[in-house]
């Protein structure tokens, strides 16, 4: 209802809630999880979450957790749209490296106007995904993500295609790029060692053994033919 501008901190909280709800799958996210993700104390989270609840941006059940209202989701998706458009722009138009764009976009996403957002979108030809394969929310708040699993969960003996990789850790991204584990790549799932042992995959003609952390950071879809979808 109240139409005050959201502060940077409020925007960051909404973005974090959205991210964690999606990642962890549940329908509520807890104070400590949020605090860890944001690099902030749990007490700080409690008070901010109350403020956001007062503003109608989240629903808050004490001791249970927090979720986004429609208004909160809208705001979070707008930030996410800014973020992913910026990542794409920085990468494609300004030649910034894959692993650099996340941090830069994190700062810029709060500062760009709707006008600039639109011009960036147009300059890029209205892209559907960012450099890490993540879908870019539409202007009207639709986020259409394909149904994915993690590479870690993929069936040995099958072939999958990389849809998206986590973009938060620059070092991980550099590593993935060296291994050619980038969106669009086709990956043979060779075999999985027992007891959490490494996952053996073949990509771009090379075989690699991947640890769980790496394989969990990669989202894949079953192999498909390259259809000119649309």
Name the residues that contact a second copy, by CB under 8 A: 90, 93-96, 100, 103-104, 107-108, 110-113, 115-116, 119-120, 123
Burial of 85 (0-12, 13-18, 19+ CB in 10 A): buried
110 binds DNA (CB under 7 A): no
**Shortest spacing between CB 183 and a second copy, in angstroms:** 23
How far apart are the C-alpha atoms of 58 and 67, rounded to whole Å? 5
65 binds DNA (CB under 7 A): yes
* 90, interface contact from DNA, a second copy, none, CB < 5-8 Å by kind: a second copy
Burial of 20 (0-12, 13-18, 19+ CB in 10 A): buried
Nearer to DNA, 63 or 226 (CB): 63
Nearer to a second copy, 109 or 164 (CB): 109
**Shortest spacing between CB 196 and DNA, in angstroms:** 20
Q: Please, what is the end-to-end C-alpha distance for the chain in angstroms?
A: 37
How far apart are the C-alpha atoms of 209 and 32, rounded to whole Å? 33
Structural contact between residues 224 and 161, judged by C-beta atoms closer than 8 angstroms: yes
Nearest CA-CA partner of 30 in 65, 80, 1:
65
Where does this chain touch DNA (CB under 7 A) — which range of 49-57, 151-159, 182-190, 218-226? Answer: 49-57
56 binds DNA (CB under 7 A): no
- Locate tokens 């650099």: which residue? 100
69 binds DNA (CB under 7 A): no
Q: How many helices (H) and strands (E) does the chain have?
A: 8, 8
**Shortest spacing between CB 109 and DNA, in angstroms:** 16
How far apart are the C-alpha atoms of 204 and 144, rounded to whole Å? 28
* 141, interface contact from DNA, a second copy, none, CB < 5-8 Å by kind: none
62 binds DNA (CB under 7 A): yes
Nearer to DNA, 22 or 128 (CB): 22
186 DSSP β-pair partners: 161
How far apart are the C-alpha atoms of 223 and 230, rounded to whole Å? 18
**Shortest spacing between CB 111 and a second copy, in angstroms:** 4
Residues that bind DNA (CB under 7 A): 7-10, 12, 30-33, 38-51, 60, 62-63, 65
């Amino acid at each position: 209802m109240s139409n005050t501008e959201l502060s940077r901190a409020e925007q960051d909280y909404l973005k974090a809630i959205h991210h964690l709800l999606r990642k962890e799958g549940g329908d509520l996210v807890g104070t400590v999880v949020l605090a860890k993700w944001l690099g902030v104390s749990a007490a700080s989270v409690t008070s901010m979450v109350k403020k956001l609840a007062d503003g109608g941006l989240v629903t808050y059940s004490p001791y249970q957790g927090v979720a986004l209202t429609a208004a909160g989701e809208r705001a979070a998706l707008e930030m996410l749209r800014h973020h992913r458009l910026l990542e794409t722009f920085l990468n494609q138009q300004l030649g910034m490296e894959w692993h650099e764009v996340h941090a830069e976009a994190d700062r810029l996403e709060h500062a760009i106007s709707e006008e600039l957002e639109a011009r960036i979108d147009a300059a890029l030809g209205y892209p559907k995904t960012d450099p890490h394969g993540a879908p870019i929310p539409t202007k009207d708040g639709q986020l259409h993500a394909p149904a994915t699993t993690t590479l870690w969960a993929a069936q040995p003996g099958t072939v999958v295609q990389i849809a998206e990789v986590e973009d938060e850790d620059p070092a991980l991204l550099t590593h993935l790029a060296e291994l050619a584990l980038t969106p669009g790549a086709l990956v043979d799932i060779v075999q999985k060692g027992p007891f959490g042992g490494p996952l053996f995959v073949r990509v771009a003609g090379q075989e690699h053994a991947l640890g769980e952390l790496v394989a969990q950071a990669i989202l894949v879809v079953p192999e498909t033919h390259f259809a000119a979808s649309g």
